[in-house]
Structure 1
């Protein structure tokens, strides 16, 4: 991989640096106890978390490409989860989504070696974030996990008004960075939003694939852990 021409690295945040699933699991374990969900027929927190994770990932995939709104995502992910697990609609805890949204972004679990890798890369490149996350929660995540100092520009799709994979957000990010396509590379976990979004725009990309899922043929480079970036870049 020829890296000589790169000057700017654009990172995704959720599922790439900030360990969304681990932080969500911690949050839901706490809320399961607080709301005594076992008393409304849920057998275990693990089953609840597994069902929520599946629903949430599906909804975010739709949000990335503009099929659903932020409000629909937030309204649907827990309601669908409770209904999938057989909870009667009138027993679904009121305000559960709001409590989750307040608590989860305060969690600070990052993927292994994140600080070491970001420190190393900051010594060689100008770094930026492009997140499809929601503005308020994204800002809380970045501040709480002490990573803001690594990045020159933090681009949040909700503030820009367009999501990855739309070419407009990559164009906007390059403009803020004062960079051109050939000087940048995108690193993220979403094949559709991060990788194909960048590639279709004309910028190189590295697929972060910690679960070691099958890599599509049109994805040129992947890593399974962040520390591999210290060898690639």
Structure 2
């Protein structure tokens, strides 16, 4: 199997941009959020979501739609409901991840990136061969989210508070990607760190 690079970061840090740069460099990136969206679009999962939270699913049959914002608002900050959602979706996400890893192995890839927002919070860093944390100063991260997400400052800060602090993530990282400059500066940094990784500099045991 390929070695696994865990990619995470605080909200607004630019993790998705780094993931895109790694794809640009030719690596397979397994995006946990994208897999979650695929899983929650499956008819069987939509039916179970509708049974649990009728107000977050609309339509019938092939026209059924999930209101992701409503679902997030329902489960965010409620450990019981969040656990219900995770019990429904996480086994399917793990199955899809395993399939993607097998496909990468069949292609002969040496490294695969797993883009996981809650990598540390869910204890998934233990299964990685190396971990990158993308970070930026708090006010810069908040401003990025305010500009693109439609969330209020209070909502952004609440979501950040539900995750590990940037300092705690940085302390556990093998590499910290500092996303404070231009895209070209970020691309150069990612290229440099990826080169070191692929050159065989010892990863986390």
TM-score (norm 1): 0.30
Q: Which has the higher contact order (CA 8 A, sep 6+)?
A: 2
TM-score (norm 2): 0.32
